[in-house]
Structure 1
């Protein structure tokens, strides 16, 4: 597309739009649901049909070359994708470390996000359904707040891993705190702190990975990362769900929160690599001397300067 700015900002703004849509959808859906529970589902279906139509007409892939795919060629294509995932993904240490972080953190959140409604109802001692709607709206707002941190961070020089480490530490502490909380009014702010940290880390982690991957293999590696993260989700939902059923939801949060600690040494190891893609430079660097923006492997910066000496 020719865009040369920070990808962190792009991903953050996209997340803001998602959060805003989540906020509006929660409020409007709740209002319509009070009238008839079928109306929100019908409205969602209509909106999805409109979005599909707009995307089909206006959105087109850039740099994507179509090629024929048959049932006979499917096994060989899958083999190529697997090889590309290993060669350009798992075998590259920075990408491998980011994938491990996704496995650990996404693993817990897949269970944690769906466990808070019954947990909060338990803490309040009520089965009122309005809790889910109100808290979901607050989650959308807290995620947007986290995204604004990315906007601020992307204008300054620093390392992406610094923000990721801080966000991971805050997230772990807040999750464990939710499990230890004996009050809804303590657990709720801790949940919002968790989602705010996720809102700050998510776009930066996405931008970091995109900086590491050659453009031709980007879709493959991003999909590979998602597959591994979903594998963590399967394990966590099975394990933590069983633990919560046998013991308590609070125990699940404490155990899951402690498990997310595993992301911290991985991120620290990633930071110690001092990879160029870890570096982020913002608008402030226009006035100061800053390190160059991280570039994908295979790219280079021309540093030759032609000097013309005037002679009399």
Structure 2
């Protein structure tokens, strides 16, 4: 197969579609699944926190794997690790296992996702550069957002109604099966293009070199640092907000067994992702600077979360879910393009993984605390606190905007 920008993009979309379909099968029921296993809100969100802790622990190491042994190898490892840990989750559910076992397996789930987080995006950007792509990154990431939304729409609806028709464990089993299929797809279609893994170096010395350069090009670049710190607030809170929607909406709906409603809520968010992804490039053109768009999204997103806690009506909260989904999905491709324009190719996967690490770090601390607030004062109170925490990202995006980095104003092409 001849590698062209078109074939690269098609492969990227296929990988996103399959992985998101597998992941989203349980997105609408994950919290309900944990509560059904006998965990409290505190324990359920603590289990999620251990998942994000696993991402914190392994984001940079797996990013280094991608930079040393290749993005393809990292992706393949991710499919296998995530499939096995998903099956272990079902086993724990059947046993009604103690919390510590959920914590261990949740860390393994986090490990599985970290193999994907920086590697897939880095593979795309490097391959597009190598094959001479001169178009807009927002357009590619926006189309990818659409594919993600389509897969999430199908997966979340199917997972919710499948759980309602059978039991809560079946969507997890289907997820593991799809991940194994994706292993085969990536094995056949994904090749490292525009990037040469340094497999001949010493492991320890290479790890030190890549880690050192990643800090140099990541944390020590003020613009990148401010963006990552902002992500720690919005990303960490976002994980709680999404997963707490499942039981919260069922409470507002008045039927705690209506798993299809929980899946439908995730599907509504997926539909918002599709629309937001389609208009991401147009939204970008409405702002002279990418950070202006991101700043607007931060303010609107925090306000939407606060309103979810204040306006406790099912259809109102569902409408706010749509609004927040539109905001996030339109802003995400802009943020991806901006960040990729600030970092060099050789450290791309590791720095993108470090960015995910910052987001996960926020989730480690936020989720148990917010889960405890939900246990004591209810879900509305936890959403009010979540909105306040999310708003803390606003000053950091404003700082990044004040620096006026060259990638901030770029519209077409690849800036790095």
TM class, shorter-length: 0.7 to 0.9
SS at match of 2:191: coil
Residue 347 of structure 2 corresponds to residue 217 of structure 1 = yes
1:270 corresponds to which residue? 400
Residue 173 of structure 2 corresponds to residue 53 of structure 1 = no
Matches within 5 A, 1:6-21: 6-21=136-151
Structure whose alpha-carbon radius of gyration is higher: 1
Matches within 5 A, 1:34-53: 35-37=165-167, 40-53=171-184
Checking the alignment, whether the CA contact within 8 Å between 1:8 and 1:207 is kept in structure 2 is yes
1:248 corresponds to which residue? 378
Matches within 5 A, 1:1-312: 1-30=131-160, 32-33=162-163, 35-37=165-167, 40-68=171-199, 73-127=202-256, 128-154=258-284, 158-281=288-411, 295-296=415-416
Distance 2:163 2:307 in 1: 33
User: What is the CA-CA distance between 1:9 and the residue it aligns to?
Assistant: 1.4
TM-score when normalising by structure 2 = 0.64
Relative to structure 1, the CA distance from residue 241 to residue 200 in structure 2 (aligned partners, 3 Å threshold; closer, same or farther) is same
Distance 1:175 1:33 in 2: 28
Checking the alignment, whether the CA contact within 8 Å between 1:20 and 1:141 is kept in structure 2 is yes
SS at match of 2:255: coil
Cα displacement string for residues 44-91 of structure 1 (whole angstroms, at most 9, x for unaligned residues) = 333322221121011101133234489xx5443332233122101000
Distance 2:285 2:373 in 1: 43
SS at match of 1:182: coil
Relative to structure 1, the CA distance from residue 29 to residue 183 in structure 2 (aligned partners, 3 Å threshold; closer, same or farther) is closer
Distance 2:395 2:162 in 1: 46
1:309 corresponds to which residue? none
Checking the alignment, whether the CA contact within 8 Å between 1:179 and 1:249 is kept in structure 2 is yes
User: What is the CA-CA distance between 1:246 and the residue it aligns to?
Assistant: 2.1
TM-score when normalising by structure 1 = 0.84
Checking the alignment, whether the CA contact within 8 Å between 1:169 and 1:261 is kept in structure 2 is yes
Unaligned runs of 5+ in 2: 1-130
Checking the alignment, whether the CA contact within 8 Å between 1:158 and 1:281 is kept in structure 2 is no
Bigger mean CA offset, 192-201 vs 58-67:
58-67
Distance 1:172 1:157 in 2: 20
Distance 2:324 2:287 in 1: 25
SS at match of 1:3: coil
Distance 2:159 2:390 in 1: 33
Give the aligned CA root-mean-square deviation in angstroms: 2.2
Checking the alignment, whether the CA contact within 8 Å between 2:306 and 2:388 is kept in structure 1 is yes
Distance 2:360 2:200 in 1: 26
Checking the alignment, whether the CA contact within 8 Å between 2:158 and 2:263 is kept in structure 1 is no
Unaligned runs of 5+ in 1: 283-292, 297-312
Bigger mean CA offset, 150-159 vs 238-247:
150-159
Which 4+ residue blocks in structure 1 deviate beyond 6 angstroms?
none
